[in-house]
Structure 1
Amino acid sequence: MNKRNSLKATALALVAGVFTQPKTSHAASGELWFPGDPPQHKLVYQVNRADPDYINHILGSLRAMVVQYGDNVALAVVAFGPGIHLLATRPERPVSLEARQRIVGFANDYGVELVACGNTLTGLGWGADRVVSQARIEEVGASALMTYQEKGYAYIAW
């Protein structure tokens, strides 16, 4: 076979291979993911308790997700009920300064979205100044969880 026919045969084999490959998801296909691409993984955490061990488990899980997936995961934390104290500038429940600094660090350093429940704030008589500036306030925290799930986020609650 001469060079020209060899090139034609190679090109034909490549084209045939492209069209006969099974359809697979982006992640399962082994395709490369590059920083700046939309994340392949999405996870939203519900925080509804102010218990220190509970909060530390959630913070540990956030850290593990960042370590495992880096920029290839979108993370969100929705706080309501007693969990709102994790996002408070002056919590009235026993939430450590370290835990509050860690959650703010996740928002600042890794883009973790923080959401505070407006109904919980109203019930406590708190204004927007009582939550960290990195958090956005949604009127209904449960609604924010639902919206994240509708956008393809997996939902984690302890």
Structure 2
Amino acid sequence: MLASPTLLASLAHADPAKQGAAPDKPFAEHFIVLQLSESDSKKERLVLSVASNVLKAYGPDKVAVEVVAFGPGIDLLREQNEHRALVDSLVSQGVRFAVCGNTLDTIERETGRRPALNPHAIEVQVGVGHMLELAERGFTIVRP
């Protein structure tokens, strides 16, 4: 689905600093949200690599990075994921990881239990809705 010209114009002129894009990153000049809706080791590694490369390119104080995982993409944030150490390292550098509550609810309905998650994962009600809110606050959505 393509964004409307009005939405694109409003996003193009959005000033993240004025909109409170990342209150925990007061000196950030760049704002990016990485979408993760697929799950395999290669895709997870790609998203983590992009986050790491953006931090290296701009410096952790100059860029706000958030990874939003929904659907099968939540596997990255499972407690026993093979990339756990890298996720934890990125968190220590200021990267935020959001996980879709709707996906977690669906898994719980289907399996009878909620998956164990990395304690750094921040549950949001709707992953895609969270990305929309971030875009409205000046973040650029990237789907590696």
TM-score (norm 1): 0.68
Structure 1 residue 83: Cα displacement: 0.6
- Equivalent positions of 1:79-158 (< 5 A) are 79-90=69-80, 95=81, 97=82, 99-107=83-91, 109-125=92-108, 126-127=113-114, 130-158=116-144
Structure-1 residue corresponding to 2:65: 75
Structure 1 residue 151: Cα displacement: 1.1
* Structure 1 runs (4+) greater than 4 angstroms displaced: none
Structure with more of its chain in helix, by fraction: 1
Quick one: which amino acid aligns to residue 150 of structure 1? E
Distance 2:85 2:131 in 1: 23
Structure 1 residue 37: Cα displacement: 4.5
Unaligned 5+ runs, structure 1: 1-35
The number of equivalent residue pairs is: 115
Distance 2:107 2:85 in 1: 22
Quick one: which amino acid aligns to residue 127 of structure 2? G
Quick one: which amino acid aligns to residue 101 of structure 1? A
Distance 2:30 2:48 in 1: 18
TM-score (norm 2): 0.74
Distance 2:97 2:36 in 1: 10
Unaligned 5+ runs, structure 2: 1-24
- Equivalent positions of 1:9-24 (< 5 A) are none
Distance 2:46 2:118 in 1: 21
Structure 1 residue 61: Cα displacement: 0.8
Distance 2:70 2:26 in 1: 31
Quick one: which amino acid aligns to residue 107 of structure 2? L
